[in-house]
Structures are given as C-alpha cells and as structure tokens.
Amino acid sequence: MTANLGREAEERFGIKADPDDVEKLRAYLWNAYGAENQEIINKIFSSGEAAGFLTVNETYFFREPAHFSLLWDMLPSFEKTGLRICCAAVSTGCEAYSAAMMIEAYNKGVAPIPLSYHIDAFDINHKVIETACRGVYGARALREDGSCFRYMADPYLKKTENEYCVEQSLKKNISFFVHNLMNEIPSKEYDIIFFRNAFIYFSQKNRGRILFNLSKNLREGGILLLGVSETAGAHNGCSAAGLEEKNRKDVFYFQKTGPRTPNPAPCSPLFTETKFYNRIESIGS
C-alpha cells in the first residue's frame, strides 16, 4: 500500500512524495484509523490532512529578502491602480504577513496616498491555514535572513514569552483559504504571485500544470516569484505558460507578456529603520 499512497499523493496533490514521508503517513493511518483502505485514503487526501506528512512547512518572516526588496521597488507602480498579491502554498502565513507589513510601512513612510492592496494566501494543508489565521508564531519566525526588514514587523508583532502574535489590524487585507494547486485558482487576477520553495515538491509531469494554473491568474505584465533555488529548473515550464524570465540586480523572476506591470526599477532607497520611526513620530505629533 505504500506505493499506492505515493501514487495518490502525485495524482491528487501533484507532488512526488519522499518514501520516508509516505511511510510516516502509512504509520499514521494505522495508528489513527487502524486500517489503510481506500475509503480512509480518500478521506485524508480530500481533506488535505495527508499534506501535513508529505511536505515541509518551514517558513518565517521576510524569508529570501531579495524578493522583498524587489517588491519594495515595484510598489510605486500600483499607487493609482491598487495591488493584488497571491501567496500560493503559503504554509503558516509568514510570507503573506511580510508582504502586508512592507506595504503598510510604505504607506506610512513613502506613499503620498496610501496604496490599496489585498493579499490572497492559500495552502492545501488546512492545519497550516488555521495557524495562519490565528497569526501566532514561535520565536524562530524572526530570523537573521530578512532581519533588515524587522523594523517593519515591529509594529505588528506582539511578543509574549516565546511567541509572536500578529496584530489584528494587519489581517484586514489578507484572505487565507485552503486550495489544491492541481486545481485552477478561483477566478481572480493578480499583479504578483509568490510561489516559493514549494515547486521542488511537485513531480516533473505536474510542474507545467501548476505553472499554467498560476499563469492564468496573473494579469498581463504580472510577476511570478519562485524560490531562489527553484528558478533555474522552472525556466522551460514558465516559458510554456507564457512567462518570460527577467533579472533585476541578480533577482530572477517571471513576467507574463503584456503591459500591466512595468519592469521594476529602483524608485527610492529602501525605507530605513531610522526613517521609519522618525516618520511614525511625526505622524503622532
């Protein structure tokens, strides 16, 4: 049955599961249900419960900071139109909250008129989406990688012993939901899609399908960001999905053909911690 579980993982989730992870799932089936029949298999895959055993859900705030520097440079392009972001395979939600923190910092310190935005964020694992909705994280959610943006997080993360709690005000522009990337995303158009550090889990035969589904939900000129280590392996699939590889300051990304989003260019220095707090003080005085 182990081989069948691996096949189920590929057919339903599109992922090529590690044999050790499949064994862990099999052990869970026997411990929790005392059986490994098709009815139980259908149940745990349909609910997304199986995904927790087959994927790694490590994430933290402002992971791969080069992407957030790129996001910062793009923000002025959306001051008139507003910005729609999708965080695909978001795990416990740190990526979505990081993007929101950056936009809020931009609105408070740089934007002449607040930039309107909305972030949709999903994962196939309902448990990690529940964590994202709660917005409560352990101490390792803030790490050295991305620490240059920590000042953007400070107003929205409340420290309680060994936990960080996301302020409720940051959640107003974020929608978390459960979704399987093997299926088309609910019909919306996004300016930017983050799909980072998850592409490697998908089997070769399903990677093109995943990229095609993501591309369909990008506006013309919209941008897809993959994990730094994943970009090279996705070139052919992105090209087939109508996405052109771009490079800015050694940051690689994919752009959908069309005029909607201009190539990002440095518009202003990244907002510094000192400038941020000086700006906040001036607003309050």
- Residue 238 tokens, joined: 């992105």
DSSP three-state, residue 211: helix
What is the sign of the dihedral through the CA atoms of 12, 127, 229 and 186?
A: positive
DSSP three-state, residue 123: strand
164 pLDDT tier (thresholds 50, 70, 90):
very high
- Residue 48 tokens, joined: 């997304």
The pLDDT of residue 278:
60
pLDDT, tens digit (0-9, with 9 covering 90-100), for 88-122? 999 999 999 999 999 999 999 887 889 999 999 99
Compute φ and ψ for 22, nearest 5 degrees.
-65, -40
> Which strands make up the sheet holding 251-256, listed edge to edge?
174-178, 117-123, 83-88, 190-195, 218-226, 251-256, 243-248
CA–CA separation, 165 vs 192, rounded Å? 26
Angstrom distances, CA of residue 136 to CA of 13, 17, 123, 163, 179: 27, 28, 17, 7, 21
DSSP three-state, residue 262: coil
pLDDT, tens digit (0-9, with 9 covering 90-100), for 60-77? 999 999 999 999 999 999
* Cβ–Cβ < 8 Å for 83, 103: yes
- Domain boundaries of the chain, sorted by first residue: 2-54, 65-256
1 pLDDT tier (thresholds 50, 70, 90):
very low
The pLDDT of residue 284:
45
Mean pLDDT, all residues of the chain:
87
Q: Quick one: average pLDDT of 188-215?
A: 91
Neighbouring CB atoms inside 10 A of 164's CB total: 20
CATH of 65-256, one of 3.40.50.300, 3.40.50.150, 3.20.20.70, 3.20.10.10: 3.40.50.150
> In terms of residues, how long is the chain?
285
Buried b (16+ CB within 10 A) or exposed e, 86-117: bbbbbbbbbbbbbbbbbbbbbbbbbeeeebeb
| Residues paired with 255 in a beta bridge | 223, 244
pLDDT surpassing 60 at residue 260? no
DSSP three-state, residue 24: helix
* Cβ–Cβ < 8 Å for 56, 21: no
pTM: 0.87
DSSP for residue 15:
B
